[in-house]
Amino acid sequence: MEELKITKTWDKTFPKSEKVSHKKVQFVNRFGITLVADMYKPKNASGLLPAIAVCGPFGAVKEQASFMHKQWQSVGF
């Protein structure tokens, strides 16, 4: 995994909530690219939780990104 410098300071335009814990995570995708993401979780939560992954369309247009979301939903991701 590529070593990335991840900031630990709050860098969002919206206010930080005291009800939600936030941390930055990094992982390698299936193409071998190291990615960084923001993970938000309700404070005091435990066990398995449902999740939503949100990303930009990268080089595609937004309509193509929503199509991919629909595909993932239909196969149970």
Q: How far apart are CA 66 and CA 57, in angstroms?
A: 9
Element (H, E) at 37: strand 34-42
pLDDT for 28 equals 87
pLDDT for 76 equals 42
Looking at this protein, which amino acid is placed at residue 62? Answer: K
pLDDT for 51 equals 83
How far from the centroid of its chain's Cα atoms is residue 22's Cα?
Answer: 11
Strand, helix or coil at 12?
coil
pLDDT for 61 equals 65
Strand, helix or coil at 28?
strand
Residues of the chain with pLDDT under 50: 69-77
Strand, helix or coil at 19?
coil
pLDDT for 73 equals 45
Looking at this protein, which amino acid is placed at residue 10? Answer: W
